A and B are shown apart, each in its own frame.
Chain A
């Protein structure tokens, strides 16, 4: 063993491989990102400052018309995106935190079963789940039919489907697991003795929660809301299936520009602005929540 190690050439080869190992391991991922993210992003950026049509071809002209269109023409859709995405994120937090807390602290031996139930909906297609909400929220669906005919507390012509409420319901439902799981992870790793220490130092259950449990869960709340807000903000399926032309989100506009009117420059500009907007929002959010303080 020692003799093998002592011979000069072999360790140097091994050492060189060992030194390169991190890069070797990174290469597949980097190539993937380069080809499927960086390159399309660059293409999209160029496209956003181009003009032309699908028939005549697009040429980079340096025009910023697409950006000014994107910012001025779609105020309602930008607003809808922000409102629906934000509302569903807040709702997901309000619904998800108690769930994550209960599983983490009271789950006992049912923890894994409960976690499985949280992600179980993912075994069904996203589209099917969203379409089934059309039935759930339908004018004569199980909820409204019960309220209208059995209880009679809701007027017969009342409708939820194709309203903002329906879109927000769908978004909230679809992204709930993304909120619950990171919060569960953060809560689960809180040292039980810290809660005992808070009680020992005269903290009531509520004060212990407010001063110790919740602050320590904040990284999970942060991660969960990012994971919920970003896809919810850019989503178009829920607005498409559960909404009406009035509830169109910016995702629907981008989809329409790309696939229906083939106005690639305008679609690219909208996509870039959406990305930028989300980055800024996340930046502000990170500042406000001070997550770097927590990890320090």
Chain B
């Protein structure tokens, strides 16, 4: 890492000496991990320095102590696009700010490429940030904004010119060098902010809801763009967002955060197909959750009984060992609708219900089906076989709902406690 500031290197060398022999035995492991958080915790409001910043965090009461980040252990792999996803106030921005060095952890460690940086100030960390509202320097040109970090590191002028030019090329803003931030559109300012951070070739790039201020169309465009740039530069991205679709579009892995912890960590598909908690099931996409009680295993399937004793089967290996009441989940697009008396292939989960609402959405139709045993589920049906109004299901029709057991998931039913928690967040 030749670009690491000398002072930072000295300090890191010292801290490395004290951290024991474990890293020497397994050097490959160290380089595989870009960022490691160990029991990272932030409590706001206990001291006066925390108070001022606490107002940044939604849901924090400035006059109260508030556990924003609660003993997080996390490893971000080198070169991956990693997202921290969660509702506002879940601690994702605070986690990012601690990695960036803008916030001191209350306790815990932050390792950057195997080196403890917990107590280094922001300017000594080999990390750069794309801020939520870009934070471009209004008095400097685009060129000087992008060159800011290089100039602080005393890079030669010719080199700066070359690298800034290349970077503006990468973000598709060549020729904008002499503009001032005030003369840029939101999307352009966003690209400059990205270039300003990336030009320093940081070990890790932190992005704090960078697309939040853009309109939907531009946001979608920038998502694709960000992913392309990340793959081109091969720098680890840690991306904070509350938009699950945004996180799914771009990320290699996502940590879904809630109340200062992450509830589940995994690939977008795993999080979507196999959510492990009620919160994750509800936060990523739409989930139908049916309360059920376990009724013993049959042929490698766990059988659950709904309130009206209807049996629902889930592959045994998907059960996480919950005891007591659970919620069986199934995604709306996995459910097939058929006529109430139609024959159904054996082995499918089957429920009876009545269509209570149908909304044509263009690409699909959304049905709300009232179940015979109480409650209702949402079903999405692609408008492929049926597309015209006469062919769609209409309210009042009796239907049966079927899905493959493998498309189910099981989460602990936290009951009223979890409902209360979700209300608290909204």
**Chain A positions 181-233 with a Cβ under 8 Å from a chain B Cβ:** 191, 193-194, 196-204, 207, 211-212, 215-216
CB atoms of B123 and A202 under 8 A apart: yes
* Inter-chain contact A200/B137, CB cutoff 8 Å: no
Closest residue of chain B to A196, judged by CB? Answer: B102
Interface presence of B5 (CB below 8 A): yes
Contacts of B149 in A (CB 8 A): 201-202
Contact digits for B200-244, partner A, Cβ 8 Å, 1 yes 0 no: 100000000000000000000000000000000000000000000
**What would 23 A/B residue contacts be, using CB atoms closer than 8 Å?**
A108-B52, A191-B135, A193-B133, A194-B138, A196-B129, A196-B135, A197-B129, A197-B131, A199-B101, A199-B122, A200-B122, A200-B123, A200-B197, A201-B123, A201-B148, A201-B149, A201-B152, A201-B197, A202-B124, A202-B149, A203-B123, A294-B139, A296-B182
Top 4 nearest A-B pairs (CB, nearest first) are A201-B149, A202-B152, A197-B135, A199-B122
Please tell me if the beta carbons of A198 and B148 are within 8 angstroms of each other in the complex.
yes
In angstroms, how far is the closest chain B Cβ from the Cβ of A191? Answer: 7
CA distance A80 to B100 in the complex (A): 54
Do A200 and B129 touch across chains, with their CB atoms under 8 A apart? yes
Determine how close the nearest CB of chain B comes to the CB of A228; give it in whole angstroms: 23
Q: Chain A residues near B52 (CB, 8 Å)? A: 108
Q: Is A204 touching B123 in the complex (CB atoms < 8 A)?
A: yes
B180 contacts chain A at the CB level, 8 A cutoff: yes
Task: Report Cα–Cα, A266/B382, bound state, in Å.
Answer: 94
Chain A residue numbers with a CB within 8 Å of B415 are: none
On chain B, the residues within 8 Å of A198 by CB distance are 137, 148
- Distance in angstroms between the alpha carbons of A182 and B222 in the assembled complex: 40
Which residues of B line the A interface, CB within 8 A? 5, 52, 100-102, 121-124, 127-129, 131-133, 135-139, 148-149, 152-153, 180, 182, 196-197, 200
CB-CB under 8 A from A215, the residues of chain B are 139
Chain A interface, >50% SS class: helix
Interface size, chain A (Cβ < 8 Å): 21
Alpha-carbon gap, A216 to B139, bound state (A): 7
A193 to B209, CA, bound (A): 14
Does the CB pair A194–B123 fall under 8 Å? no
What 7 additional pairs, Cβ within 8 angstroms, besides A202-B153, A293-B139?
A: A194-B138, A196-B102, A197-B131, A199-B121, A201-B200, A203-B152, A294-B139
Residues on B with C-beta less than 8 A from A193 are 131-133, 135
From residue 141 to 198 of chain A, which have CB atoms closer than 8 A to chain B? 191, 193-194, 196-198
Q: How far is the CA of A216 from the CA of B181 in the complex (A)?
A: 14
Contacts of B135 in A (CB 8 A): 191, 193-194, 196-197
In Å, the complex CA distance between A196 and B131 comes to 9
Q: How near does chain B come to A117, taking the closest CB pair, in angstroms? A: 22
Contacts of A203 in B (CB 8 A): 123, 148, 152
In the complex, the answer to whether B196 meets A201 with C-beta atoms within 8 Å is yes
| Cα(A197)–Cα(B131), bound, Å | 8
Q: Which residue of chain B is the closest to A204 with respect to CB atoms?
A: B123
B200 touching A202, Cβ below 8 Å: yes
Q: How far is the CB of A64 from chain B (nearest CB, A)?
A: 45
Complex interface: chain B residues within 8 A of A199 (CB):
101-102, 121-123
- Nearest-neighbour CB distance to chain A for B192, whole angstroms, equals 12
Pair A200/B100 contact, Cβ less than 8 Å: yes
In the docked arrangement, what's the CA distance between A196 and B128, Å?
11
Cα A191 to Cα B133 with chains together (Å): 10
The complex places the Cα of A194 from the Cα of B181 at a distance, in Å, of: 13
Give the shortest distance, in Å, between A52 (CB) and chain B (any CB).
55
Bound complex: CA A16 to CA B136 (Å): 44
- With CB as the reference atom, state the residue of chain A lying closest to B153: A202
CB distance from A289 to the nearest CB of B (A): 12
A296 near B123 with CB under 8 A, answer no
Q: Which residues of A contact B182 (CB under 8 A)?
A: 296
Which residue of chain B is the closest to A293 with respect to CB atoms? B139
**What's the least CB distance linking A286 to chain B, in Å?**
16
Give the Cβ gap from B179 to chain A, nearest Cβ, in Å: 11
- Point out the residue from B128, B133, B138, B139 that lies within 8 Å of A200, measured CB to CB: B128
Closest chain B CB from A111 CB (angstroms):
12
Residue of A nearest to B199 (CB): A201
CA distance A108 to B48 in the complex (A): 10
| Closest CB in chain B relative to A183 CB, distance in Å | 16
A207 and chain B: residue at smallest CB distance: B152
Question: What is the minimal beta-carbon distance from B89 to any residue of chain A, in angstroms?
Answer: 19
Residues of B within 8 A of A207 (CB): 152
User: Which residues from B are CB-within-8-Å of A202?
Assistant: 5, 123-124, 149, 152-153, 200
Best-buried of A193, A194, A200 by chain B (most CB within 10 Å): A200
Q: How far is the CB of A193 from chain B (nearest CB, A)?
A: 4
Q: B208: nearest residue on chain A (CB-CB)?
A: A193
Distance in angstroms between the alpha carbons of A296 and B183 in the assembled complex: 9
Report the separation of the CA atoms of residues A108 and B180 in the bound assembly, to the nearest whole angstrom.
Answer: 32
> In whole Å, how far is A293's beta carbon from the nearest beta carbon of chain B?
8
Which residue of chain B lies nearest to A208 when distances are taken between CB atoms in the complex? B123
Q: Are A201 and B131 in contact (CB under 8 A)?
A: no
What residues on A are CB-neighbors of B152 within 8 Å? 201-204, 207
Q: Which residues of B contact A204 (CB under 8 A)?
A: 123, 152
Q: Which of A108-147 contact B (CB under 8 A)?
A: 108
How far apart sit A200 and B97, CA to CA, in the bound complex (Å)? 11
**What residue of chain A has the Cβ atom nearest to residue B3's Cβ?**
A202
A150 to B317, CA, bound (A): 91
Q: Of A108, A197, A293, A296, which is within 8 A of B137 by CB? A: A197
Chain B positions within 8 Å of A212 at CB level: 137, 139
- Looking at B101, B137, B149, B180, the one whose CB has the most chain A CB atoms below 10 A away is B137
